Amino acid sequence: MELLAHCINLVQLYKELDKLPSTLEKAYEHLLDRINSLPQANRDLAYRVFGWVAFAEHPLKVEELQHAFAIEPRTKELNRANTTDEDILLSICAGLVIIVVIDHQRYFKFVHDTQEYFTSQQDKLFPRIHVDFTCICLAHMSFNDNPLKYPFSWYSLFYWDFHARKCSGSTTVNEILAFLDDKPTQMENITQPFQEPYAHYTFDAAFFTDVLHAVKLLLADPGVNLQHLCGVCLAAYVGNDMMVRLLTSRESDAVHREGQVPFLREVPGTSLSPAQKDSSVSMGSRAPFCTPLIAAASNGHQKSIEALLRSRKLNSLNAMSSSGLTALSSAILCNSIPVVRHLLCEHDIDMSIQFKGQTPIMLAAGYGFDEIVKLFLERKDDDPNAPGENGRTALHAAIEGSQHGSIDLLLKSGHVDVNRKDSKGRTALSIAAGLGDVQSVKMLVDHMGIDMLVKDNDGKSAYEIAVEERQDEIVTLLAEHGAKDLGDE
């Protein structure tokens, strides 16, 4: 439009219209040609703006981008004279970048679908964009004064490792090592406002970036403090079996004396299963402790499990985390069938260890992890009737969770006591009747050996409970199967 506005007559206007690109991609190429004709410094700055707006992990505020561009890699302080005016940043971008106001905050943003175009052109236009992000974030966190007072603070702290892991090969090893060579208190100062001990031991950060070269160099340094090492947990959690093998090959203990290490935060890019969330073991909680084996099991990384089980010093098969998890219960909670199968093959696995009052098979049955329930039922040394907290069994757990697949497996196994009572005298049938679970009641009343007249500690049968809870369909169903005895009339 700017070109058309300068046309002095119709002939010139038609000529300019003929020059306009016919597709959106050609339109971008046309605009980039204009940018490529700028002086080198302006051209480089324009492409840097495009790259940062396109590949930032969250929208960048105006002052965040200005601050980031003012930082020079491997420096210890910010030179405010290096800040670029926002009008200059906008003018060199040929109208592709604008400033928008959201909740009284000003952000850089692409117009239309420009972001999709640039992200699709990463290999061609921005091959080192994540290197740039990583170096700037690390330089920022290495400032001599308090880095948190600067606008780019929070982005650096929370996202530097995202970008570092996306760097290929050893492109950022020197920068990462320079950052890790700083005093251990540096990260502690940065993270102090969070009131939690997030990775303030510099060795841990190397594992978090998944940079094997940096890890090898640090391991070879006799001055590295391994006392608070949680890198092996992080490596195991993200499934970096190469790094796990590197650590487990060392002769010195890379864990606390109890075989546990601090597990400090959820690894980016991962998510917890509903069962893991219910277990209240999210790594976002304050300073829980776990073993590397639990870390690997909690995300289903079989190769890391195998490497750890082969280790003399890190093979803490039955050890518990501070929240009571074992490797086996962790694998069950994330429904990792291969890992559970592998752990059950270990001859000294202890299947009697409970988590929050539940035996391993109870955990699986309660969440309806049918394939894992099968693994336990196939074993001769595991009793599905083993009581957990309050005398509950795997069948009770499956009934309470309305997990009909697991209920069917347990009933058909022939090993389950269908009339087993919990500490309140409730059977699976009375629980199902009280919950109004018609399908579970049907499965139970059709099972050979079911006693429908059993009463709980309050003297109530399943039929009476259904009547009390006004579960009319279940009342009818139980009556049809003879559950209405003389005492119930």
453, two tokens: 């007249």
Which pLDDT value is given to residue 6? 54
Which pLDDT value is given to residue 175? 64
Is 111 part of any domain?
Answer: yes
Is 263 part of any domain?
Answer: yes
269 sits in the region (left: phi over 0; alpha: psi -120 to 50; else beta) called left
Same-domain status, 75 and 191 = yes
Same-domain status, 167 and 95 = yes
Which pLDDT value is given to residue 358? 96
Specify the CATH number for the domain of residue 336: 1.25.40.20
Tally of domains within the chain: 2
Averaged over successive runs of 10 residues, the pLDDT of the chain (489 residues) comes to 54 56 66 90 94 93 94 78 93 91 92 84 90 86 70 81 70 57 46 39 42 46 46 53 56 39 35 47 41 80 80 73 88 94 92 94 97 95 93 96 97 95 96 96 94 94 94 93 61
What are the C-alpha distances in Å from 72 to residues 68, 80, 148?
9, 11, 17
Cβ-based neighbour number of residue 225 at 10 Å: 11
Is 87 part of any domain?
Answer: yes
Which pLDDT value is given to residue 307? 77
β-sheet bridge partners, residue 290: 261
Structural domain of residue 306, as residue ranges? 226-350
Dump strand ranges (E) for 375-449. Answer: none
Separation CA 127–CA 418 (nearest Å): 63
Same-domain status, 115 and 164 = yes
Q: What is the pLDDT of residues 404-419, one digit of tens each?
A: 999 999 999 999 999 9
Is 194 part of any domain?
Answer: yes
Same-domain status, 164 and 202 = yes
Same-domain status, 143 and 107 = yes
Same-domain status, 188 and 234 = no
Same-domain status, 253 and 303 = yes
Domain edge (last residue) among 328, 350, 372:
350
Separation CA 371–CA 366 (nearest Å): 13
Question: 178-187: which pairs have CB atoms within 8 A and are 24 or more residues apart?
Answer: 178/74, 178/138, 178/142, 179/138, 179/141, 179/142, 179/205, 180/205, 180/206, 180/214, 180/218, 182/142, 184/225, 186/141, 186/142, 187/141
pTM across the whole model: 0.55
Is 283 part of any domain?
Answer: yes
The answer to whether residues 69 and 46 touch, using CB atoms and an 8 Å cutoff, is: no
Buried b / exposed e over 344-377, threshold 16 CB at 10 Å, is beeeebebebbbeebbbbbbbbbbbbbebbebbb
Q: What is the pLDDT of residues 93-134, one digit of tens each?
A: 988 899 999 989 999 999 877 888 888 888 899 999 998 998
Domain edge (last residue) among 179, 207, 235:
207
Same-domain status, 71 and 197 = yes
Is 135 part of any domain?
Answer: yes
